[in-house]
Amino acid sequence: MGKQVSLFVTCMVDQLFPKVGMAMADVLERLGYGIDFPENQTCCGQPAYNSGYRAEARTVARHFLKTFEASQTIVVPSGSCTAMVTHHFKELFQKEPETLALVHAMEKKVYEFATFLTDVAGVEDVGARMEDVVTFHDGCHALRELGIQSAPRRLLAHVKGLELREMVPAEECCGFGGTFAVKFAELSGAMARTKIEAIVGTGAHTVVSLDPSCLMQIQGALSRAGLNVRTMHLAEVLASR
């Protein structure tokens, strides 16, 4: 494969949480990877797809395919955006065999960040250090579509000074769900509050996740509730020294 990766940071990280992208790049560079950032990248198209606008989603998906066609390996700091490419792009192009072939090729090249580290780079200890008590939130796309559960935990287990406490109940949706968060705001808020009850129950100071959208929902709810708990993306934890 050669040690070169392309970053797909996602529109949310690009515009709202740029430090997550920088942290991810930092970790990868320390592991000896050369990094490029294809400048034409924008979005995976998920908002349109989830809202039922498939033609518009196709347009954005084609742009993604074009932007990354020369990349061999693409790393993404988001479970939902990775799943959009690897699981849902094909639904959009069932009637376009040529594009579908490109999609199948792309599916093999795109990796969620934690999975890339454990499965491709083959590392669990990236030399990180962070004195803190954290809990981990499994984003639904990462958990159920990508089957990611142990990889982030193995990575966190090697962060010096870090204590990980599991939420009870675990594996419950934070309530973001894309446009669901604003279309059904009251319901989304109620789901977020149930999630933060579970978080508070762990006594953790920091919530870690693979998904910026979940982190935005959770942090937004924590902040509204006046709670002194912060959120961090896994990449930011792993970049800590």
Partner 1 sequence: MSVEFDRKIHDTLADANLQLAIYTATGRLKEKRIEVTADNVLPDYQELRTQANALKKHAIDNLDHYLEEFERNVEGYGGKVVYCKDATEVSDFVLDLAKRRGSKLIVKSKSMTTEEVDLNERLEHHGLESVETDLGEYILQLAHEKPYHIVAPALHKTRYDVADIFTKELHVARETVPEKLTLIARGVLREKFLKADIGISGANFLIADSGAVAIIENEGNARLTTSAPKIHIAVAGIEKVIPRARDLAVFLKLLARSATGQLLSVYTSFLAGPRRPGEVDGPEEFYVVLLDNGRTKLLPDRSKRESLYCIRCGACLNACPVYRKIGGHSFPWVYSGPIGAIITPQFMGVSHEPALPFASSLCGACGEVCPVKIDIPKVLLELRSDVKKSEAREGQNRVEKLGFRIFAWVMTHPRVYELAGRMAASMAPAGDGKWIKSVPAPMSVGPLKAWLSERDLPPSPSRSFREMWRHR
Site stretch for partner 1 (CB under 8 A), options 33-41, 103-111, 122-130, 232-240: 33-41
Q: How far is the CB of 17 from partner 1 (least distance, A)?
A: 7
- Binding status of residue 191 toward partner 1 by CB under 8 A: yes
Q: Which of residues 130-169 bind partner 1 (CB under 8 A)?
A: 140-141, 143-145, 169
Give the β-pairing of 110-112 and 160-165: unpaired
Closest to partner 1 by CB, 69 or 125? 69
- Binding status of residue 184 toward partner 1 by CB under 8 A: yes
Residues 196-225, mask of contacts with partner 1 (x by CB under 8 A):
--------------------xx-xxx-xx-
CA-closest candidate to residue 119, choices 59, 73, 166, 63: 73
By CB under 8 A, how many residues form the interface with partner 1? 71
Consecutive H or E run containing 14? helix 11-15
Closest to partner 1 by CB, 21 or 152? 21
How far apart CA 13 and CA 97 sit, in angstroms, is: 32
Q: How far is the CB of 240 from partner 1 (least distance, A)?
A: 18
How far apart CA 58 and CA 184 sit, in angstroms, is: 25
Closest to partner 1 by CB, 118 or 194? 194
- Binding status of residue 186 toward partner 1 by CB under 8 A: yes
Tokens encoding 104: 């199948």
How far apart CA 240 and CA 237 sit, in angstroms, is: 5
Among 118, 120, 180, 200, binds partner 1 (CB under 8 A): 180
Specify the amino acid at residue 50.
N
Q: Which of residues 93-132 bind partner 1 (CB under 8 A)?
A: none
CA-closest candidate to residue 171, choices 198, 206, 133, 202: 198
C-alpha torsion sign, points 24, 30, 31, 33: positive
